[in-house]
Amino acid sequence: MRITRIETTMLRDPDGFVIQDATIPPIDPNAKGRNQLFVHIHTDEGTTGLGIAPGQRSIREVIHENLSGVLIGQDPFMIEKLWQDMFWRVRGFGRKGIAFQAIAAIDIALWDLKGKVLDQPIYRLLGPAHESVPIYGSGGWTNYSQDELVAEQTAYVDRGIPRVKMKVAKDFGQSEREDIERLEAVRKAVGDDVEIFVDANNGYRAKQAIKMSQIFEIYDVAWFEEPVLADDIPGLAQVSQATTIPVATGEHEYTKYGFRDLLVAGAVDIVQPDVHRVTGITEWMKVAAMADAFNLLVAPHAVSLVHLHCAMATPNLKVVEVLGAEEQSNKVWWTETPPYDGGNWKPFADRPGLGLEINPDSLKNNLVD
């Protein structure tokens, strides 16, 4: 079997959420709409692998202009070799950002293809460690009013999900009092038995984050995510060592080497690789194993339908993030997604690869080209 062609499709959810967190500048309150990029790897035996990426045209360009030529004619089962070929192909301009996201989309498609050829879900190819995995409801955007925030967070709990995440460090960390008031409102609304995670999205500085963590401890916060700039590893270590709240970070790391530096510095307690950024499933699993060597838990960032498979094969898993913004658009992109069982989730056991099929109506009505 050989790869014959790489195709991409861009779809748009016209009603998709436009989100704001601590370090995203103010957005138009009427803005809406969200794109998604899909990658199709065709073979000479007729099987096609499906990958996904953020809906950026620049990622699409890297796939077609820089990576397709590396793949054509190759054996798609040689996933590690192809990953290495792509990694070195973008050496001079990649390193982080869109080039690595392009590699990730192709890597996901290669795993989907392998699953389809072998008639197995990806998680079974990786080697399951769990029967199902815990999930948490994620959102709490800073552009929500306090009432909207509380309504969203309690809605997750009402669905049987006993863990939620909300944003703090509003306005680049300049609204500390409002951060506390919003957290207090959510804790009061969901009760004492629900875990609350808070995410600063790089919005505080180290001393400020330490001060805020002492207040967050009063509300029994279960983790403090990206308290300072993701590249400030010494600052992350300073916060981690000064608070009893576990520090979660990693969504903005693009290589196993970046994760190595986080781990060695003692700058992370809960490791958060993002399959879209850390160049796909192949590298994601290496990062999870590295975290296990440091006796640390993994909680993947976003991209839940891919991370669900990775998480099922990760013995040191803490929890899988379910974003309301993704849930909304998943109804547009896919014919069907695996249902939640309260606060737990598992992939379709009888569908190969990712177990996903693009909605034909979306291909007809939502195409961006």
**pLDDT one-digit tens code per residue, 304-325:** 999 999 999 999 999 999 999 9
pLDDT of residue 28: 84
What's the whole-number average pLDDT of the chain? 97
Domain architecture of the chain: domains with CATH: 3-119+357-365 (3.30.390.10), 125-345 (3.20.20.120)
Mean pLDDT of 66-93: 97
pLDDT band with cut points at 50, 70 and 90 for residue 52: very high
For residues 361 and 342, the answer to whether their CB atoms sit within 8 Å is no
Q: How far is CA 214 from CA 29, 201, 207, in A?
A: 33, 18, 11
pLDDT of residue 55: 96
pLDDT of residue 95: 83
Distance CA(234)–CA(239), nearest Å, equals: 9
Mean pLDDT of 329-339: 97
Q: DSSP letters along 217-247, please?
A: GGGTEEEEE--S-TT-HHHHHHHHHH-SSPE
pLDDT of residue 230: 96
